[in-house]
């Protein structure tokens, strides 16, 4: 096997059909960035758009931009732009708050919809802040729920879902292992058992195709600052 030299690697980079996309992002020179799963880099167009927002919409038009720039409808407008990435229909997605705040809202809503059941299923290696929300919601409910955290090496989640389960709360992609959960199989099985499902799409949106509408997903949350390069917040 040929030993690769620096010149060989540079040649491969020059032949890479995706290399031109680096120019579409603001990145420091001599930096190789592999942490877009935590915070995506800044698209150069974003800098231009932010300048327009700050100088024109906010600076010049002030309060008029709620209507003139249609700020008031941004949650729905942005949601409709993201919907195709999720396999969702227009009007099914909104962009609001943070992942944790939204998870709190949808988890409490799901539990109220299934209030006769007192068990919640998740994974021990779910994203830490998701588990904090789960613990907090249960504490606010006087710890009336049994929270079953499945070990990561046990991928047969369906065997834990029975008629006592109110909500199954999972991440589509495990942030530690990269394992992709079978959204369709798990959601369909949970529905057969009368359980609702909450999916966290933070690590999968913009990376792998999804079909939320046709699968019939009950609730899903996610963020735009990772693979969608939407900035922190």
pLDDT band per the 50, 70, 90 thresholds, residue 117 = very high
The ranges assigned to domains in the chain are 99-221
Per-residue pLDDT reduced to its tens digit, 175-212: 999 999 999 999 999 999 999 999 999 999 999 999 99
CA distance 39 to 231: 7
Per-residue pLDDT reduced to its tens digit, 7-29: 999 899 889 999 899 999 999 98
134 within 8 A of 169, measured Cβ to Cβ? yes
Look at residues 166, 157, 154, 147 and name the one whose alpha carbon lies nearest to residue 186.
Answer: 157
Q: Determine the CATH number of domain 99-221.
A: 3.40.640.10
Per-residue pLDDT reduced to its tens digit, 129-161: 999 999 999 999 999 999 999 987 667 899 999
What six digits make up the tokens of 65? 């931009």
Instruction: Give residue 37's pLDDT.
Output: 94
Per-residue pLDDT reduced to its tens digit, 84-103: 999 999 999 999 999 999 99
Instruction: Give residue 155's pLDDT.
Output: 73
Instruction: Give residue 156's pLDDT.
Output: 87
CA distance 30 to 21: 16
As a whole number, mean pLDDT of residues 224-233 equals 93
CA distance 117 to 111: 8
Cβ neighbours, 10 Å, residue 140: 11
């Amino acid at each position: 096997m040929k030993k690769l030299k620096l010149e060989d690697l540079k040649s491969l980079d020059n032949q890479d059909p995706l290399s031109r996309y680096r120019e579409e992002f603001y990145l420091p020179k001599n930096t190789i960035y592999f942490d877009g799963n935590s915070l995506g880099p800044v698209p150069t167009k974003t800098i231009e758009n932010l300048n327009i927002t700050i100088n024109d919409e906010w600076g010049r038009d002030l309060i008029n931009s709620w209507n003139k720039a249609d700020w008031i409808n941004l949650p729905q407008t942005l949601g409709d732009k993201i919907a195709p990435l999720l396999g969702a229909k227009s009007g099914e997605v909104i962009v609001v708050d943070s992942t944790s705040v939204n998870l709190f809202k949808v988890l409490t809503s799901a539990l109220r919809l299934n209030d006769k059941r007192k068990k919640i299923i998740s994974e021990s290696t779910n994203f830490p802040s998701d588990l904090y929300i789960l613990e907090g919601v249960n504490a606010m409910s006087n710890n009336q729920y049994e929270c079953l955290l499945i070990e990561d090496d046990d991928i047969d989640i369906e065997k834990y879902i029975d008629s006592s389960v109110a909500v199954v709360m999972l991440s589509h992609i495990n942030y530690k292992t990269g394992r992709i959960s079978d959204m369709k199989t798990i959601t369909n099985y949970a529905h057969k058992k009368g359980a609702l499902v909450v999916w966290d799409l933070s690590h999968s949106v913009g990376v792998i195709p999804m079909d939320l509408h046709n699968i019939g997903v009950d609730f899903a949350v996610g963020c735009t600052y990772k693979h969608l390069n939407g900035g922190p917040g």
